Amino acid sequence: MVNMADVPAQMAEVHDESRTRDRVRHAVGEQAPVTASVLAKDLGLTPAAVRRHLDALEDAGLIAEHDGPLPGRRGRGRPARAYVLTALGQEQFSTSYDGVATAALHYLADRVGVPAVENFAEAQIAELETRLRERVDAEVAEAGSDDLQTRTAALAKALSAEGYAASTRPVGEGTGLAGLQLCQGHCPVREVAVEFPQFCEAETKAIARILDVHVQRLATLAGGEHVCTTFVPTGALGSAPPTAEERASAPPFILRRDQRSSAGPDD
């Protein structure tokens, strides 16, 4: 027989468990690919607790084990398991308005033409750019530094405030391909951008304008990847093409497909 006096405490425990699991899922989206040990440290949880939540999220089809190399990893031995959001995990953040928005854009393209969709996407991203720039400028002013690393970190924070679950990480350190990866674990307009990549293109241009540097979009959620990834060059890539030695020593996830193919099969 259930003791009714225990019900409120049990409900609170279930609520706390669910809220913690949501924190883990959000952190996976923001930092993917990410390991259990990193999540435990960042969230202030025990590794055992994080693994329990990861197992539950994986069983629910919301996350999956990452099958590629981990950024910055060097050395030998079996790599730690890392996780990313699945398509279902991404859809958990989608809104019920995605279908309506997509239908409206198809209507606009059919009645007015594709350039009208491009203009609309640019106008929408321009509004986002204004908000992001204000936040970035404020962060930079508070930090007292306007270098590219500080500005990119501020942009990631601003994007996260807009629902993009963004983060940055250094890549290619010590090579001419040194830079920062700006990762976005969630895209509020993902479902729309799947059919209308003009939104991704306009967003990439906005990022470049805010950072005042040429950037490269390496992957997008709309394109079927687990995270939107933008490469922000801080090394020689910003001023000159990388040498064969630099290509060989750089992590593979920095190079675009066209760079890999032009470098030859051994690169």
Instruction: Tell me if the pTM is above 0.95.
Output: no
**What pLDDT is recorded for position 163?**
81
Cβ atoms of 85 and 32 within 8 Å: the answer is: yes
Q: Residue 235, Cα to own-chain centre: how many angstroms?
A: 22
Give the Cβ contact number of residue 33 at 10 Å: 20
Angle at 199 between CA 104 and CA 169, to 5 degrees: 145
Catalogue all structural domains in the chain, each as residue range(s) with its CATH number. 25-91 (1.10.10.10), 98-263 (3.90.1520)
Per-residue pLDDT tens for 45-67? 999 999 999 998 888 888 888 87
Predicted confidence (pLDDT) per residue in 117-152, tens digit = 999 999 999 999 999 999 999 999 999 988 999 999
pLDDT score at 141? 94
Asked if 150 and 138 touch (Cβ cutoff 8 Å), the reply is no
Confidence check: pLDDT of 178 > 80: yes
Distance CA 172, CA 170 (A): 7
